[in-house]
Amino acid sequence: MTGRLVVRGFTISLDGYGAGPRQSQEEPLGAGGESLHGWLVNTSSFKRTHGGTGDPGAGGIDDEFAERSMEGMGAWIMGRNMFGPVRGPWPDESWRGWWGENPPYHVPVFVLTHHERRPLEMEGGNVFHFITGGIHAALDRAQKAAGGKDIRVGGGVSVVRQYLQSRLVDELHLAVSPILLGSGEHLLAGLDLVALGYRCTDSVASERAVHYTIARA
């Protein structure tokens, strides 16, 4: 049995951008991009899984979606930009991600890149594998590692777009944040989701976002 390929907790602005312009180590989501995730970073689930201390975080609708987004995953796929700010050939292996020595995934993670790098083993069962063969090769590796559980595509925008364009995403949870970015990386520009066989199956509003579920027919 093969698990589904899902996108969970992917946030865009009202004008459709999943990241702002000028991404850098100081602003990994680009100018203004951090403000997209106000619905997420305040939840108790996020604070628990990302090492928050002191503030227990909020419950409610947003927390339910945040909790669900991390449950039952057997593997993750992400783009190189989500793993880190290094571009081009790896100068060395000193960059180990944004998350410290115990990232929140706790399953194999397959990072799409054009440049080879040895697997990176970290605490908590986190192993990052660097895949140079494209989205299908990454999905094949992830399916073998997931043991029948779902596989989550974590981003960034270009990776999600590639899997949607190839009709490989089974279900997408899209959180629309009530802000405008004006420019950056647009998630759906040029993608005809209807022609690709997708439809919106549910929508739920909270104070900080509107959550849409989009599924492949």
Tokens for 189, please give them.
Answer: 């520009």
* pLDDT, mean of residues 64-74: 92
Answer whether residue 191 is part of any domain: yes
Radius of gyration in angstroms for the set of CA atoms belonging to the chain, rounded to a whole number:
17
In a domain, 146, yes or no: yes
Separation between Cα atoms, residue 61 and residue 12, nearest integer Å? 18
pLDDT band at 2 (very low <50, low <70, confident <90, very high): confident
Q: Kindly tell me if the per-residue pLDDT of 31 is higher than 70.
A: yes
Q: Identify whether 94 is part of a domain.
A: no
Q: What is the pLDDT of residues 149-202, one digit of tens each?
A: 999 999 899 999 999 999 999 999 999 999 999 999 999 999 999 999 999 999
Q: What is the dihedral of CA 87, 12, 14, 163, to 10 degrees?
A: 90
Tell me the three-class secondary structure of 74-138, residue by residue: EEEEEEHHHHCCCCCCCCCCCCCCCCCCCCCCCCEEEEECCCCCCCEECHHHCEEEEECCCHHHH
> pLDDT for 39-55, tens place per residue?
998 898 888 877 655 66
Residue 127 domain boundaries: 5-87+102-216
97, part of any domain? no
CATH number at residue 136: 3.40.430.10
In 3D space, the residue among 140, 196, 200, 199 whose CA is nearest the CA of residue 165 turns out to be 196
pLDDT value of residue 212: 98
pLDDT confidence of residue 215: 98
Domain count, the chain: 1
Which band of pLDDT confidence, cut at 50, 70 and 90, is reported for residue 143?
very high
pTM of the model as a whole: 0.92
Q: What is the pLDDT of residue 54?
A: 60
CA neighbours within 13 Å on the CB side: how many for 110?
24
Per-residue model confidence (pLDDT) at position 211: 98
Contact 135, 163 (CB under 8 A): yes
Predicted pLDDT of residue 45: 87
173 bridge partner residues: 213
Tell me, what's the pLDDT at 29? 83
Strand partners, 76: 109, 152
Overall average pLDDT of the 16-37 stretch: 88
